[in-house]
Amino acid sequence: MKKKVVIVSGASRGIGAATALKLAKEGYLVVGTYNTSAESATKLKLIIEEDGGSFHPVRADIRRFEDCEGVVKEAQKLGQIYGLVNNAGINRDALLIRMNHIDWLEVIETNLNAAFYLTQLVAREMLKNREGSIVNVSSVVGLYGNAGQANYAASKAALIGFTKSLAKEFGSRNVRVNAVAPGFIETDMTAGLNEELKKKAVEAITLKRFGRPEEVAEVISFLISERSSYVNGEIIEVSGGISL
């Protein structure tokens, strides 16, 4: 029997790396994409393999359809593609009147277009096998918006509509599509926030702290696995209650 493969985009750091670690521990063969962080991807591979797991890093610029094709072909060589985690994301924050159009495009291409490319490429196999789970990593910003993040919010809100539409398209073939919407998580993206913004954020969070990547990975692994076999088209906040 072929080993079940899960593709995780942006797997070398933050939520992606935590997700790759978690899924590998659960017995999946994880194919993780990275672009510029080759050293981090190599370190993650060593950590996972020392723990008895399987991790296959693939360098790709997932803004390019051709690179996404290469990732999927690599995954298909290794086993049955069972899962996909569209995790890769960037931010290029600015007020709209000051936002460079390149910053708009780069965020949309990375956060949204790449998810479309990878999902379309894996969907045929999943639908044929009548088995699969896709998890899109959105954001609370996609649910509620945020000043200075129109591009990021637009991309993450679009992922929510993408998730719900595909849940309706794929559900009859036993392929589930869900999303997580993280809040403030301790990653490179939030590390750049100034202390005043961090303080205000913590005050708004009912648990009074930022989340950890591992806490998001727990929810993603649940949604990928058969433990969530009757969950489809859902958007699960992992935000410490920031929206309450």
Cβ-proximal residues to 74 (8 Å cutoff; 6+ apart), any chain: 31, 56, 58
Q: What is the pLDDT of residue 193?
A: 73
CA distance linking residue 2 with residue 34, whole number of Å: 25
**pLDDT tens digits, one per residue of 219-232:** 999 999 999 999 99
CA distance linking residue 161 with residue 39, whole number of Å: 35
Query: Looking at 34, 144, 152, 230, which residue is catalytic?
Result: 152
Q: At what angle do helices 38-50 and 14-25 cross, to 10 degrees?
A: 20
Rounded to the nearest angstrom, the gap between the alpha carbon of residue 182 and the centroid of all alpha carbons in its chain is 10
Q: Region 168-184: what's the mean pLDDT?
A: 98
CA distance linking residue 22 with residue 27, whole number of Å: 9
Give percent of the chain with pLDDT exceeding 70: 100
Q: Is 152 among the residues known to form the active site?
A: yes
Q: Is the pLDDT of residue 1 over 70?
A: no
Q: What is the pLDDT of residue 238?
A: 97
User: Where in the chain are the domains?
Assistant: 4-238
Q: Region 30-58: what's the mean pLDDT?
A: 96
**pLDDT tens digits, one per residue of 90-107:** 999 999 999 999 999 999
Per CATH, the architecture of 4-238 is what?
Answer: 3-Layer(aba) Sandwich (3.40)
Of the candidates 64, 2, 1, 79, the one whose C-alpha atom is nearest the C-alpha of residue 33 is: 64
